[in-house]
Amino acid sequence: MNVLGMQTLFAKEVRRFMRVPGQTVLSPLISTTLYFIVFGYSISGRVQTVDGTPYLHFIVPGLVFLGIANNAFLNSSSSLFITKIQGTVVDLLVSPLGPGELMAGFIGGAMVRGLVVGGLTWAVAALFTGFSLEHAWVAAYFLLLSSYVFSVLGMLAAVWAEKFEQINFFPTFVMLPLTFLGGVFYSVRTLPSPWKEVSLFNPMVYMVEGLRYGMLGQSSFSPAVGGAILAGVAVVATVVTWMVLKSGYKMKA
């Protein structure tokens, strides 16, 4: 295994997004914080609590999840896609970096960005709501695994995409609706039928609820369900990505 090669790619990925912190960290942090302020303060006037938790507190885990998922996905997808577009993918394909090393480098870098944005979002929210961490291991599990899953999915999207329009397809048409309809700003249990039942098919619901359990100690569903779904998605996405990279699909002529 080319450990130094993998570390180099990882360090390069982290340095790459840190070279433009305004775009990669500050901008999403401001967006997520605005969600917190606008949604939190506008709705908390009418919805005082959700399942006994103050509304402002209730939305924090979802917003942290949103920051992690979006930024982990965007980092791996944009970095690998731009590498393809500007031709520097040649450096990666010629060098002795196998699928495992490529995944570790890109996913590691994307996880760091997702966790940095998620962590900063959490810190900003804590200024308004105070810090809450009820089940540290559960929270850590969901933080790490959700950043991993969306980094892998971002990599897959980058391999598949051939145009800028395609690389924007997943965040705009898949991730954004699923996260906004995934119980970030409301409890799925409070939805009327049939939306409640429809929402149960949205895997984001369980991921948000799992993190909510870890951070606030309350959840509409057992965190084990979210944990299992997240682990399942992680395994499938990892295997598929490894096989795709191994085959050279859309990477080699």
Binding status of residue 192 toward another protein by CB under 8 A: no
Q: Which of 155, 27, 165 is nearest to 92 (CA)?
A: 155
Nearest residue (CB) to another protein, 42 versus 86 = 86
C-alpha Rg value of the chain to the nearest Å: 18
Cα torsion angle, 113, 118, 121, 126, sign: negative
- C-beta neighbour count of 140 within 10 angstroms: 12
Contact mark string toward another protein, 66..95, x via CB under 8 A: -----------------x--xxx-xxxxxx
Nearest residue (CB) to another protein, 90 versus 224 = 90
Binding status of residue 62 toward another protein by CB under 8 A: no
Query: Which position among 22, 45, 52, 96 is part of the footprint of another protein (CB under 8 A)?
Result: 96
| Interface with another protein: number of residues (CB under 8 A) | 29
The string of DSSP letters for 182-238 reads: TTSSS-GGGSPTTHHHHHTT-HHHHHHHHHHHHHHS--SS-HHHHHHHHHHHHHHHH
Q: Which stretch binds another protein (CB under 8 A): 12-20, 149-157, 167-175, 185-193?
A: 12-20
Angle at 162 between CA 1 and CA 167, to 5 degrees: 85
Query: Which position among 22, 52, 194, 252 is part of the footprint of another protein (CB under 8 A)?
Result: 252
The residue ranges that bind another protein (CB under 8 A) are 2-5, 7-9, 11-12, 15-16, 19-20, 83, 86-88, 90-98, 248, 252-253
